[in-house]
Amino acid sequence: MATVELRFSALPEHVRTARLVAAAVARRAGVDESVLDELRLAVGEACSRAVALHQRNGVDGAVRVALTEQEKRFLIEVADEAGPTHAAGADATGGDSEDEDALGLAVITGLVEDVEVGNGSDGGVIRMSWPLSPVSITV
């Protein structure tokens, strides 16, 4: 089970909330302060992409963000419910939204060493993970 799980309607105004929650949970889990900015950005990109896929495919639904504290890593999964065939949008005119999708993925893969982009029956899933710092006890 995820440490914290968040589901939100696929709307742009909720992406900021997802960023803030992910960063707060990651900080508490012991992800190094120096990578929290990158983590926040990567989660935002994954959520923005999910929201855009819903809008482009004209599908209602939710974006699920699962934040899981593992023994040595902090795992984040962002799943959409925009349907299995994202390629359908790619056949269109290839306007600004396609450019932004490519830019979003470029940012994620540029920032995160461990990242996997997958497709399920309901939609896509982006899995990312970061190392947890060795336990530090603050008194």
Partner 1 sequence: MDLSLSTRTVGDRTVVEVGGEIDVYTAPKLREQLVELVNDGNYHLVVDMEGVDFLDSTGLGVLVGGLKRVRAHEGSLRLVCNQERILKIFRITGLTKVFPIHNSVDEAVAATD
Report the interface residues with partner 1, using CB under 8 A: 12-13, 15-16, 37, 40-41, 44-45, 47-48, 51-52, 96, 99-100, 103-104, 106-107, 110-111
Integer Cα distance of 3 and 66 in angstroms: 8
Residue number, 41 or 62, with CB nearest to partner 1: 41
Residue number, 44 or 123, with CB nearest to partner 1: 44
| DSSP letter string, 3-30 | SEEEEEES-GGGHHHHHHHHHHHHHHHT
Task: Report in angstroms how near the CB of residue 112 gets to partner 1 at its nearest.
Answer: 11
Residue number, 2 or 14, with CB nearest to partner 1: 14
Task: Report in angstroms how near the CB of residue 101 gets to partner 1 at its nearest.
Answer: 8
Integer Cα distance of 3 and 91 in angstroms: 38
H-helix segments, the chain: 15-29, 33-57, 87-90, 96-111
Q: What is the DSSP letter of 91?
A: T
Task: Report in angstroms how near the CB of residue 12 gets to partner 1 at its nearest.
Answer: 4
Task: Report in angstroms how near the CB of residue 137 gets to partner 1 at its nearest.
Answer: 29
Residue number, 32 or 100, with CB nearest to partner 1: 100
User: In terms of residues, how long is the chain?
Assistant: 139
